[in-house]
Amino acid sequence: MNPPPSIITTVIFDLDGTLVDSREAVVDAVAAGMEAVLRRHGFDRLRADRNLIMDAMGLPPSEYYRRILPPELSHLAAEVQSASTDEEVRSLAEGRGRLYPGVADTLRKLKDEGFLLAIVSNAQEPYFVAALHYLDLDPLIDHRECHEQLPPESAGGKEVLVQRALHALSTEPRQAVMVGDRREDIEAGRRLGTRTAGVSWGFARPGELDTADWRIDSLAELPAVLPSPPKTN
């Protein structure tokens, strides 16, 4: 028997800025990769703009790396992406990645209560796989997919990833909640008909999460706002 529409059975999470504090593992790594490529091409005096790198978080890789480069150097985007990805994976392997406070405990709590859990991200695949591995997220997750893992016929942004997560977990949109730190996360959920929760600790600009059903200041608050958990201990 299908659960009634008021029950949430599935929680879909964004990764960076939602579960993972990306300021060191990603922002510093992208800046290092970008500056290495710039030096390689003789632009020794140019420096990566960390504020721009943070502001572009959440975009698909092809758009992200063009956004953080000066327009006249956009042809270096693929090279910067490759160098930055190497730096990101190295950073995670060296233990410089970390989850936000309460993330691991909250995921375990949701799992114990019977929720299905998914992570979707616009991150590139090597970083995404490394983050799930080195931060011990893999055992807690029922479905995971990033932008670079999409088959060619499914190319698209966060909405496609959320839709594929719903399909993989046999979940109706009204029985899921999308949790993220950027407008794209919230809009993807709303367009598909899921509930939405915006997190206050990520990369969002003021007002970016105003349309979310819930706004939370700690992931530990999430279980309490979800209606009717599918199972209680």
Residues 53 and 114 both lie in one domain: no
CA distances from 126 to 19, 75, 88, 114 (A): 17, 22, 9, 30
Residues 58 and 34 both lie in one domain: yes
Contact 160, 121 (CB under 8 A): no
Q: How far apart are CA 79 and CA 97, in angstroms?
A: 23
Is residue 233 included in any domain, yes or no? Answer: no
Residues 32 and 14 both lie in one domain: no
Residues 126 and 48 both lie in one domain: no
Is residue 1 included in any domain, yes or no? Answer: no
Instruction: Please give the pLDDT value at position 229.
Output: 53
Final residue of a structural domain among 93, 122, 151: 93
Residues 134 and 217 both lie in one domain: yes
Beta-sheet pairing, 176-180 with 214-216: unpaired
Half-sphere exposure of 2 (CA within 13 A, CB side): 9
Q: Which residues pair with 20 in a beta bridge?
A: 16, 99
Stretch (H or E) spanning 90? helix 77-93
Q: How far apart are CA 19 and CA 101, in angstroms?
A: 9
Residues 201 and 117 both lie in one domain: yes
Residues 104 and 206 both lie in one domain: yes
Is residue 199 included in any domain, yes or no? Answer: yes
Residues 58 and 141 both lie in one domain: no
Instruction: Please give the pLDDT value at position 176.
Output: 97
Residue 56: give the domain boundaries.
22-93
Instruction: Please give the pLDDT value at position 230.
Output: 54
Is residue 157 included in any domain, yes or no? Answer: yes
Final residue of a structural domain among 65, 93, 121: 93
Is residue 231 included in any domain, yes or no? Answer: no
Instruction: Please give the pLDDT value at position 136.
Output: 96
Stretch (H or E) spanning 214? strand 214-216
Burial class (CB in 10 A: 0-12, 13-18, 19+), 72: exposed
Burial class (CB in 10 A: 0-12, 13-18, 19+), 179: buried
Q: Which of 220, 153, 158, 152 is nearest to 183 (CA)?
A: 158
Residues 43 and 128 both lie in one domain: no
Give every strand in the sheet of 176-180, ordered side by side.
143-146, 116-121, 10-13, 176-180, 195-199, 214-216
Residues 185 and 209 both lie in one domain: yes
Instruction: Please give the pLDDT value at position 1.
Output: 39
Q: Which of 96, 125, 122 is nearest to 27 (CA)?
A: 96
Stretch (H or E) spanning 118? strand 116-121
Residues 79 and 181 both lie in one domain: no
Is residue 2 included in any domain, yes or no? Answer: no
Segments in the chain below pLDDT 50: 1-4, 232-233
Is residue 28 included in any domain, yes or no? Answer: yes
Name the domain count of the chain.
2
CATH number at residue 208: 3.40.50.1000
Q: How far apart are CA 228 and CA 6, in angstroms?
A: 7
Residues 109 and 66 both lie in one domain: no
Final residue of a structural domain among 50, 74, 93: 93
